[in-house]
Structures are given as C-alpha cells and as structure tokens.
C-alpha cells in the first residue's frame, strides 16, 4: 500500500513529551507537533529527513509541549499554530503564573495562527484536520491525518490527561471523547502526547474496549 504520511517521533525533555514530525512523502513538506524542548535534536531530525518544515502545531498550550516553539519558529521561519481558546487562555497573566507554578516551565508565547474546530491544514498533499477536544485545557485539540490521530494530553493509551490543572474539566474531556473521538473510524491509530500506556500507540477500537474512562464513564451510561 502506498504510504500517504510518514510519521517520525522523538521523546523530548524532562516531561517526556512525544514530538511528532509529519511528512508528506510526495512533496517532502512537513509539520511538527508539540516541540517540547531539545531544539538541537528536533533540528537534527528535520535535517536528517531532508524535509521542508512548514508549520509548528501545538495540541495545547502546556509548557512541556511548546517549549521549543520560539527557537524552531525563528530557525525555520514557520508559524506556530494553536487553538484560539488556548491562545487566549494562556495569554491571561493570572493563568500564565498559575501554569508556570504547576509545570515549572514558562507558559507559551502567542500563536501566529489560531486554529478552530474543523480547520484543515495543508502540508504538501496532507490535509491535517483540527478537532477541538476541550477538557485537559480549554483549547486542547487532536490532529487527524490519513487515519492517524495525534491526541496530545487528551487521550493516552489506557488513560486520559489530567483535568486538575488550571482550565481543566473532566466533564468537558469525557464529552470531547464521546462526541469528537469515538465517532472516528474504529481503526484510527492513536499517537498520544506521552507514552504512559503499555504500548506506544493504540486504536479507537482498542481504547473502546480497554480504556476505563471510556468503558466506565462513557459506554456504561
Ligand atoms: Zn498538558
Ligand atoms: Zn503533556
């Protein structure tokens, strides 16, 4: 089968964030998801793959996912994209201070492009769909491309993201899972923002069988 997207992954920083490079195989254009630090390692990957980076995408505004935004943005002259609600939320001074205290890292700089639910981002021949999934943060999103879903801290293998941090809501997160993610094709491959599960990736079908937040709080109702 012809491969329509190439996915490269690095585990980055003290929070062990999964940073992903999505490559269009035909055009060699690429997007970077959640550069959580270690600029030189990420730069090395982009150079090794010999791709043209066109954008930086953030699943949400937490510091561990955005730490290398600014440096890489300047290095490659590309825009940083974040959902409008997290871009707004993390610009509030009180939120910035609280978030810095919680994570021990500085809150994000303003985004260059604000994302909205349903947006389609063009990266070569790839069409990356933005799915707004509030809950972990107000402006958390998942990125869907060619049967792959990049879930950030919304959905992990066998778990979900914390909702006790500033701006979090478990009710909102469960609603997002039910209405936005469980409706995707069951064979969709899940690529989480951290490797907290028994396996690095999963599928919607497997999570519907094994993730207690889905089986106990959503499907049991
Ligand atoms: Zn987070
Ligand atoms: Zn995280």
- 0.85 surpassed by pTM: yes
We report the CATH number of the domain holding residue 62 as 3.60.15.10
Find the domain containing 29 and state its range. 6-219
DSSP conformation class of 198: S
Please name which of 131, 44, 133, 61 lies closest in space to residue 95, comparing C-alpha atoms. Answer: 61
63 in a domain, yes or no? yes
Q: From the first residue on, what is the mean pLDDT of each consecutive set of 10 residues in the chain (221 residues)? A: 87 95 98 97 98 98 97 98 98 97 95 98 98 98 98 98 97 98 98 95 98 95 70
User: How far is ligand 2, taken at its centre, from the CA of residue 162, in Å?
Assistant: 9
Number of domains the chain contains: 1
Whether 85 contacts 165, CB under 8 Å: no
86 in a domain, yes or no? yes
User: How far is ligand 2, taken at its centre, from the CA of residue 63, in Å?
Assistant: 8
pLDDT digits over 179-192, tens only?
999 999 999 999 99
For residue 165, give the ligand nearest its CA: 1
């Amino acid at each position: 089968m012809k491969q329509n997207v190439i996915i490269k992954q690095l585990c980055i920083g003290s929070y062990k964030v999964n940073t992903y490079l999505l490559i269009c195989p035909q055009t060699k254009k690429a997007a970077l998801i959640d550069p959580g630090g270690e600029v030189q390692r990420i730069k090395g990957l982009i150079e090794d793959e010999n791709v043209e980076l066109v954008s930086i995408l953030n699943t949400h505004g937490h510091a561990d996912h955005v730490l290398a935004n600014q440096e890489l943005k300047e290095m490659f002259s590309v825009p940083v994209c974040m959902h409008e609600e997290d871009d707004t939320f993390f610009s509030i001074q009180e939120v910035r201070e609280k978030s810095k205290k919680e994570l021990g890292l500085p809150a994000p700089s303003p985004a260059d492009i604000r994302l909205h639910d349903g947006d389609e981002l063009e990266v070569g021949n790839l069409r990356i769909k933005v799915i707004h999934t509030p809950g972990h943060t107000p402006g958390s999103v998942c990125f869907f491309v060619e049967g792959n879903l990049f879930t950030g801290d919304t959905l992990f293998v066998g778990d979900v993201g914390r909702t006790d941090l500033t701006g979090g809501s478990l009710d909102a997160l469960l609603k997002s899972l039910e209405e936005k993610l469980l409706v995707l094709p069951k064979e969709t491959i899940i690529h989480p923002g951290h490797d907290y599960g028994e396996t690095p990736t999963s599928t919607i079908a497997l999570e519907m069988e094994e993730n207690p937040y889905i089986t106990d709080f959503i499907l049991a109702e």
